[in-house]
Amino acid sequence: MALYALGDLHLSFGADKPMDVFGGRWAGYVEKLRDGLSLLRPEDTIVLLGDFSWALDLEGAKPDFQFLNSYPGRKLLLKGNHDYWWTTAAKFTRFCQENGFENLHLLHNNCYFYEDLALCGTRGWFFEEDKEGTHDEKVFRRELIRLETSLKAAGEREKLCFLHYPPRYRGYTCPEILELLARYQVKACYYGHLHGDSHKLAIEGEAAGTVFSLVASDYVNFKPVKIKN
């Protein structure tokens, strides 16, 4: 039994947008993912930190979910900035039931438990958007509410937080999200989104009682990061 995290799979079985075109670490990334995900066992849990599929809707993402469902274990998905297929929890649950996709769940306005740990999270927000004057205060505040809802659902359990956007990196912090992590005494925060040259912006390690880790798939060589046995 093990708990894993991995972000930014960027699958495109149902969309013509393979990441191989970027070369480098992305060359042959699907085969790397096949190898990495092969370690999953039925009793395991893996949290997928957004940007799962390039598809524009659930039906388009179906081949990507078929790929994911071919591996055992419970999968918890949170939203990334490129997850255009994302829909309501009720529609997603019905889609999974209709297609026989077992053990797929959305981490969204809720939390899940793994032994004595509470697995919390949401997409988060990235103020890089503000450079173009497109920062949406309403969306940002909604993300804060979702994160706190998830943290509250954890009760007194030890909390791990999973975000798509990094709440801190070199030259940037999101004080509102960091304040929530500190107030709810989050033990560790895992995030994705940063790719290529942006890897050097990642800040990892402990800060204010929380340990931060980047788990974007190209950063960790497409291998799920083990959090706990």
- Structurally, the chain folds into a number of domains equal to 1
Phi, psi of 145 (to 5 degrees): -65, -45
Secondary structure class of 74 (helix, strand, coil): strand
Q: What is the pLDDT of residue 24?
A: 82
Note down the domain range covering 218. Answer: 3-228
Structure tokens at 71: 């591996």
Mean pLDDT, 10 residues at a time, the chain of 229 residues: 97 84 86 97 98 96 97 97 94 96 95 97 76 68 95 97 95 93 98 94 94 98 97
Q: What is the pLDDT of residue 128?
A: 56
Q: What's the half-sphere exposure (Cβ side, CA atoms, 13 Å) at 177? A: 30
Q: What is the pLDDT of residue 109?
A: 94
Closest to 16 measured CA to CA, from 55, 63, 50: 55
Q: What span, in angstroms and rounded, lies between the C-alpha atoms of 137 and 131?
A: 14
Q: CA quadruple 227, 164, 78, 73: dihedral positive or negative?
A: negative
8-state DSSP, 137:
H
| The residue type at 65 | F
* pTM value > 0.75: yes
Q: What is the pLDDT of residue 17?
A: 79
Q: What's the half-sphere exposure (Cβ side, CA atoms, 13 Å) at 212? A: 23
Phi, psi of 81 (to 5 degrees): -70, -15
Say which CATH number the domain at 65 has.
Answer: 3.60.21.10
Task: Please identify which residue in the block is written with the tokens 């706990």.
Answer: 228
Q: What span, in angstroms and rounded, lies between the C-alpha atoms of 207 and 229?
A: 24
Are the C-beta atoms of 228 and 3 separated by less than 8 Å? yes
Q: What span, in angstroms and rounded, lies between the C-alpha atoms of 15 and 204?
A: 33
Q: What is the pLDDT of residue 133?
A: 47
